[in-house]
Structure 1
Amino acid sequence: MSTVPKRFEILLVSEHVEDRGGASVEDSAVRSAVVEATGRHGASGYPIYEGHGIVADIDPETRTVEALLVDGRELDYGLTALVRTAARG
């Protein structure tokens, strides 16, 4: 039986940046948030994670964002969501 992670960090990054000045994609995120499992599942069937204005259905196995709301709205065109393991804190 697999264990569903309790938290992830979601990074919102611009898809179309020509020069990041040596910064990694993760370091040039326009917004980031640590989201925590709610214990509920979304319409996608995957666990819902919430935090800091972000609500996301995340496939914990592949770390794919299946659904996402930022401050109650869909993600703007030109932005993409990346998922990484949240630092313990």
Structure 2
Amino acid sequence: MTTEPQRFTVLLVPEYIEGTDRVSAEEAAVRSAVVEATGETGATGYPRYAGEGIVADIDPRTRTVEAVLVDGAELDYGLNAAVAP
């Protein structure tokens, strides 16, 4: 039995929002998606999660997105991927 989370919500957030107290990541997200564990390990060595056009390697211990593809492409400059709290 695995202790890793089977589902996360990934938020795509503009870089300029990070570190500010004015707006939460959820409010600032330009896109969000619920991703579920695929049972695979990504190139980063972390579990792969996929759903709603987003494929992400996520470190389940730190909840850090280590790699991400959005609709099959790399993330646009100016955007960051984060796991919702």
Scaled by the length of structure 1, what TM-score is found? 0.83
Structure number with the higher helix fraction is 2
Separation in 2, partners of 1:44, 1:16: 26
Look at both structures and tell me which one has the larger radius of gyration over its CA atoms.
Answer: 1
Separation in 2, partners of 1:25, 1:36: 20
* RMSD between superposed Cα atoms in Å: 1.9
Question: Post-superposition, which runs of at least 4 consecutive aligned residues in structure 1 deviate over 4 A?
Answer: none
Matched residue count:
82
C-alpha contact (below 8 Å) 2:11/2:25 kept by paired residues:
no
Shift of 1:12: 0.3
Shift of 1:2: 6.6
Cα offsets for 1:32-52 (capped at 9, x unmatched): 000000001011111000000
